[in-house]
Amino acid sequence: MNPSRSMGNVLKLTEAAEYVRVSERTLREMARSGRVPCQRVGREWRFLRKALDEWLIGNKPAADGSGAVAEPSQMYLPTLERVPEFTETGFGDTAFTKNREEPMHRWVPWIAGFSASFVGEILDRELDSSKAGKVLDPFAGVGTTLIESLRRNRDVVGFEINPYAALACQVKIEALRFQPRSVRKLAHELESYLRSRLRDGSAAPRSAPPTAFRTHDPFFSPAVERQVLVAKDFIAEQQQDGARRLLRLALGSVMVGMSNYSYEPSLGRRIAAGKKMILDADVAGILRDKLLHMALDLEILQRSLPETKRQPTAQVFNESYLEFGAQRLGIASVDVLVTSPPYLNNYHYVRNTRPHMFWLDFVTDTAELHELEASSFGKFWQTVRSEPDLALAFSYPDLEVKLRELRSVNSDKGPYGGPGWANYAVTYFNDCARFCEVTAQIMKPGGLVVVVIGNNILQGIEFKTDEIFAHIAQKSGFEIQGLHRVRKKRTGSSIVNSSVRVGITRKKTELYETAVELRRISKAQ
């Protein structure tokens, strides 16, 4: 179909996206940021076909400011004339969902973490702009703390045990050296390669699906799987390590969205969530658009960096902070630590990133996943529930009373009742103690530590994890500056009384998040 013959002069979003050959999502985002000529009518966008024609060939927009300037060689993204501002909200705003609109931070969907503005406000308040300072995130996730520190010209170190999340961190800190133009070129080369290879139906992919990765429904439908494998062929042919890492991250970030699975919020079958299976997808177009968005974000990041001859250092260790933190960092070497460790909620990061682990070649068999589970902070209920009764590695009478209460709940169910969940809680708090021990070694005297953590409910019993953590930290050589309630959310029975937390809560319980603010006490104190 010829779009110019079938459409009028005024186009809806769907028609305009077809006309300029981008996804509706991409065009909507460009419309919102004023990078394409358009007009909002109520809740919908309208596009003038003539204006789009002018925009596509690179003519400047009208004097009234509508539209944007596009490079003739770039049909899908305009050239930046003005760098969008990073939003600054406040110390109390931790919601990671805000990162969905933030350059760089929006690259990878991640259920946990905190907002870029939350981290930025702490750094701006704490670090003198005229002095150097090292920032640490021991549970780096997908790199929020790392990027905000680099934007402020600070040396940064991150630890992240999940290899997929560690890849996201590594690619992001390498962004200072990427050329946006090269990323755009890579996007179009990838699209051309895939379309050329796929045009010949007899051209079999050289890459193969991971044999040890098994799911109830096929993870990818056959048509999608073939395209993904050809994309992996392209990645394998890249000569530069940085390009391969960037492409792997781009594939990982869109992988689940093209599959027959989704996050609800844990990884599960689309059909079980009431969604249709995805029988086919334009993998070439999806990956192209993802890379072009990345190129735009790189341009934004690089233009927002301060003008200075000093280049900050950045390191990411795909290791356990509890095991290697003191060894990698050294004594009294860190000025500021901002992090959010896994919560006492048994969210299984390893299992929920299984597709990425196998399809991006981080692991080849399930035994490697079990090793990762055993090394993770707090472990998981599934890994410790059948152990003999575990004991706290430190003295805390009030917590011991709470743990005995938990062991008595549904005790007839053994590891699936209170005894199993008590083992999980003991393991978690022992790791909290180990975290405080390591952190006391590597923080400078007077150094700031901000840990975002939430309360949790096990078998109907509330654990005020923030208060317990603060107590442990105080015994480890930290002064409590404050427990700041940064986010609270009333939860219903679907969470509080879920099947894995069986037990009716005795009172209406609110799940919340707290920023535990600490200072390392000097020896003189």
CATH number, domain of 11, equals: 3.90.105
Q: Is residue 388 part of a domain?
A: no
241 lies in some domain: yes
Domain residues for the domain of 249 are 176-303
> Which of 20, 41, 56 represents a domain boundary (last residue)?
56
493 within domain boundaries? no
Q: Which are the contacts of 501, defined by CB distance < 8 A and separation ≥ 6?
A: 421, 457, 458, 459, 460, 495
Residue percentage of the chain with pLDDT more than 70: 83
Using the structure block, give the residue that is written with the tokens 């000569």: 239
Q: Return all residues near 183 (Cβ < 8 A) that are at least 6 apart.
A: 246, 291, 292, 294, 295, 298
- How is residue 11 annotated by DSSP? E
Domain boundary among 246, 272, 303: 303
Domains contained in the chain, number: 2
Tokens of 173: 């800190």
**Burial letters for 35-54: b for 16+ Cβ neighbours within 10 Å, e otherwise?**
bbbbeeeeeebbbbbebbeb
Q: What number is the average pLDDT over the span 258-269? A: 88
Q: What is the pLDDT of residue 507?
A: 59
Is there a domain that residue 505 lies in? no
| Domain final position from 257, 286, 303 | 303
**pLDDT class of 4 with cuts at 50, 70, 90:** very low
For residue 281, what pLDDT is reported? 93
Whether residue 403 lies inside any domain: the answer is: no
Mean pLDDT, residues 241-263 = 94
**pLDDT of 95 higher than 60:** no
d(CA 410, CA 503): 8
- Tell whether the model's pLDDT for residue 346 goes beyond 90: no
Asked if residue 99 belongs to a domain, the reply is no
Q: Write out 500-517 in H/E/C secondary structure.
A: HHCCCCCCCCEEEEEEEE
Mean pLDDT of 357-363: 96
* Percent helix, percent strand, percent coil in the chain, to nearest 5: 45, 15, 40
258, part of any domain: yes
**Token representation of residue 58:** 């690179």
Give 45-63 pLDDT, tens digit per residue. Answer: 888 887 887 776 555 443 3
Residue 413 within a domain: no
pLDDT, average across residues 111-130? 81
C-alpha 23/C-alpha 14 separation (Å) is 9
